[in-house]
């Protein structure tokens, strides 16, 4: 299953016109993403507010992540404070996967941002969290926090935006977006040696692990004829036909 590095802003001095900081609201957004990440089987590591962009990049590069996702909001140039709106989705021009991810985020954000024509993907070589990370990277500027309407959009729609972003991640990774639900204990129930746990709910998907008959599992979610399960440290999909809830 995919794993991302989630990097909400650490810029505590970038203040929203209506109160709070970029760091505060982007961490609130990341908090709201967590239930959807967990329910859809996307694993993640996350920076902390006491880190910097440089230490976030270093932490990302120490891991083996499938995507680096940076959450930010923007500010207009001097002389234009409060006059600019829009969402920018940055990617590195030499990254095919970064561009593909950016285009998915852009198209989905157009569905929830009040002015869809102001949502666009742009290549950049100047942003460190795009240029210096090893993983494909997307750097989101979710509105302008010096603009009252954009600030209100972010603050009033955290869960909607979180759902949208995780939905984009699921689309990028080719896995179902699943609503949060309580986990259930389960056991493998097969008449042969083991049950395959796969990377996606498809019989042709790569096998991540094999769970023997009677092995305990945690059923995290369900998709059609599959359970999203945790088996030890492995999270993946297994056929529900061969799993019994306990």
Q: Order the strands of the 3-8 sheet from edge to edge.
A: 43-46, 3-8, 67-74, 137-144, 87-91, 119-123
Contact 5, 69 (CB under 8 A): yes
Q: Where in the chain is the domain with CATH 3.40.630.40?
A: 3-173
How high is the pLDDT of residue 240?
96
* Average pLDDT value over all residues in the chain: 97
Q: Are strands 207-212 and 194-198 parallel, antiparallel or unpaired?
A: antiparallel
Extract the tokens encoding 99.
């561009």
Contact 49, 23 (CB under 8 A): yes
pLDDT tens, 89-114?
999 999 999 999 999 999 999 999 99
Determine what percent of the chain is predicted with pLDDT higher than 90: 99
How high is the pLDDT of residue 192?
85
Type and span of the H or E element at 234: strand 234-239
CA distances from 120 to 25, 88, 110, 191, 243 (A): 21, 5, 9, 53, 44
Which CATH number among 3.30.43.10, 3.20.20.70, 1.10.10.60, 2.30.30.40 corresponds to the domain 184-245? 2.30.30.40
How high is the pLDDT of residue 21?
98
Contact 47, 10 (CB under 8 A): yes
- Where does the pLDDT of residue 120 fall: very low under 50, low under 70, confident under 90, or very high at 90 and above? very high
Report how far residue 98's alpha carbon sits from residue 96's, in angstroms, rounded to the nearest whole number.
6
Q: Where in the chain is the domain with CATH 2.30.30.40?
A: 184-245
How high is the pLDDT of residue 187?
97
Say which CATH class 3-173 falls into.
alpha beta
**81 φ/ψ angles, rounded to the nearest 5 degrees:** -55, 130
How high is the pLDDT of residue 135?
98
- Where does the pLDDT of residue 222 fall: very low under 50, low under 70, confident under 90, or very high at 90 and above? very high
pLDDT tens, 161-177?
999 999 999 999 999 99
pLDDT tens, 132-160?
999 999 999 999 999 999 999 999 999 99
- Where does the pLDDT of residue 193 fall: very low under 50, low under 70, confident under 90, or very high at 90 and above? confident
């Amino acid at each position: 299953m995919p794993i991302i590095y989630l990097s909400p802003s650490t810029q505590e001095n970038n203040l929203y016109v209506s109160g709070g900081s970029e760091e505060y609201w982007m961490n609130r957004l990341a908090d709201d993403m967590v239930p959807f990440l967990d329910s859809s089987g996307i694993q993640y590591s996350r920076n902390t507010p006491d880190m910097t962009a440089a230490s976030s990049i270093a932490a990302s590069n120490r891991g083996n992540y499938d995507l680096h996702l940076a959450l930010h909001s923007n500010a207009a140039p001097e002389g234009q404070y409060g006059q600019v709106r829009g969402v920018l989705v940055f990617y590195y021009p030499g990254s095919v996967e970064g561009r593909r991810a950016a285009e998915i985020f852009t198209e989905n954000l157009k569905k929830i941002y009040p002015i869809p024509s102001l949502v666009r993907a742009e290549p950049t070589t100047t942003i460190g969290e795009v240029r210096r990370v090893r993983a494909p990277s997307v750097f989101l500027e979710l509105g302008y926090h010096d603009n009252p309407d954009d600030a209100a959009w972010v603050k009033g729609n955290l869960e909607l935006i979180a759902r949208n972003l995780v939905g984009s991640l699921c689309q990028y990774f080719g896995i179902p977006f699943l609503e949060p639900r309580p986990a259930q204990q389960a056991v493998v129930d097969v008449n042969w040696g083991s049950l395959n746990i796969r990377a996606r709910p498809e019989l042709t998907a790569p096998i991540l692990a094999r769970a023997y008959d009677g092995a305990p599992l945690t059923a995290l979610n369900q998709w059609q004829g599959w359970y999203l399960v945790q088996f030890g440290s492995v999270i993946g999909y297994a056929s529900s036909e061969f799993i019994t809830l306990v």
